[in-house]
Amino acid sequence: MRSSNLIKVASKSILKNKMRTLLTMLGIIIGVGAVIVMVAIGQGAQSQIENQIQNLGTNMLVITPGSSSAGGVSQGARSFNRLRLEDAEKIQRESLIVSAVSPVVFTRTQAIGGQGNWQTNINGVSPEYRLIRDWDLISGRFFDQSEVHSMRKVAVLGRTVAENLFPGEDPVGQKIQLRNVPFDIIGVLEEKGQTAEGNDQDDVILAPYTTVQNRLSGRNFIGQILASTSSPSDIPEAQEEIKLIMRESHNLADWEDDDFEVRNQTQLAEAASGTTAVMTLLLAAIASISLLVGGIGIMNIMLVSVTERTREIGIRMAIGARGADVLTQFLIESIVMSVLGGTIGVGIGFAGASLLGRFTGWHPVVSPETVLVALVFSAGVGIFFGFYPARKAAALNPIEALRYE
């Protein structure tokens, strides 16, 4: 029996009972749609986290304080701070790979000015900080090296601070007060948005690190040091070079552990991508259970169909149809129902992902690979669960099938 005839016969059998066919496909439709939506959520989350990490800066390296221990018990990361301005200056002076370095002095206080007050983060940085973080301004300018050396009381506002203190106006040229110290506003940063942890990057005021350390913070040690390279390929080598410079700066012996940490964006991105990849796989695995349920439904209906069409099978065999023809016909019916259900499920998955993104503000990503895998998997379900009923139909004795009532 020719393949075209087998497909025609299978199609007629499927269309003969439209409602039963639709109910049979329902499990596949729901399963494929669920897989598409779940994977879209996972891939969208991964893409968003990667974008947020890229927003942190260009080819950035972060040097933070190390850990300490008390009574043999580790006190955790950043519990032992020995970072100093001299460390940042030494990296800037001696590194052959690093292109920009900025110390970062952290403090938090209330900013008073404009139309009220706002509790915010104050970061004391150098002019290179803007290059490292790849952070443009929407108004005004950034402070320069001469203003750092002279400890000028100038400030650059993040968008969140600017909108809360000076709503609807440009604050450049006005003044704010930080711990009773007046600062001139010289610029406003463009919006960066949230970090992967949900922190608002725009809720910040940047000022010369010399001014912040001497007039606001009062601490001898600094919170962190940022550095960047000209090319992403230079990051691993720069990381090792910074470790050597820092160990020398802190006079650490060969047997002593680092009292600092040097991390790069790649490590952050890999950690975040690994987490979201596991989440995506888990969501897809849960959704795939619906596909298996749908496959079992197809097998049950096909077994019923074999029973109902026993006399028809006997007649076909009696007039020359081979067992292989019967097997192929029932397999085609199973595969067509699975693939058709999978196609409808893909459409529902697209619609569901789009609807979810609209109501939640997320950005689900549906990749062509996901659609292809879902369709191939649904076809595989049709073959796997349709083979037993098809094999049972092909194994029928023609004489007994003709006698069947």
Cβ atoms of 306 and 330 closer than 8 Å: yes
253-261: list long-range contacts, CB under 8 Å, 24+ apart: 257/66, 258/66, 259/65, 259/66, 259/80, 259/82, 260/63, 260/64, 260/65, 260/66, 260/82, 260/83, 261/63, 261/64, 261/65, 261/66, 261/77
Which of 135, 137, 102 is closest to 228 using CA atoms? 102
pLDDT at 398: 61
pLDDT at 26: 79
Q: What CA–CA distances, in Å, run from 118 to 76, 109, 384?
A: 31, 8, 64
pLDDT at 75: 45
Which of 328, 317, 334 is closest to 5 using CA atoms? 328
pLDDT at 240: 92
Domain residue spans of the chain? 3-52+271-403, 81-258
Number of other residues whose CB lies within 10 A of the CB of residue 324: 10
pLDDT at 310: 66
Per-residue pLDDT tens over the stretch 278-337: 666 666 666 667 667 777 777 777 777 776 666 666 666 776 667 677 777 777 777 777
- Digits of tens for pLDDT over the chain (405 positions)? 455 665 666 666 666 777 777 777 777 788 778 778 777 777 776 666 666 655 555 588 899 987 544 444 444 444 456 789 999 999 999 999 999 999 999 999 999 988 889 999 999 999 999 989 888 999 999 999 999 999 999 999 999 999 999 998 999 999 999 988 999 999 999 988 776 566 788 999 999 999 999 999 878 889 899 999 888 788 889 999 999 999 999 888 889 888 899 987 665 555 555 666 666 666 666 666 766 777 777 777 777 777 666 666 666 677 666 767 777 777 777 777 778 888 888 888 888 888 877 776 667 777 777 778 777 777 777 777 777 677 777 666 665 655 555
CA-based torsion, 242, 248, 254, 258: positive or negative: negative
CA 384 to chain centre: 34
Which of 169, 163, 156, 72 is closest to 121 using CA atoms? 156
Per-residue pLDDT tens over the stretch 336-366: 777 888 888 888 888 888 887 777 666 777 7
pLDDT at 271: 58
Torsion of CA 335, 337, 342, 343, to 10 degrees: 110
pLDDT at 60: 86
pLDDT at 174: 93
Alpha carbon distance 102, 246 (integer Å): 15
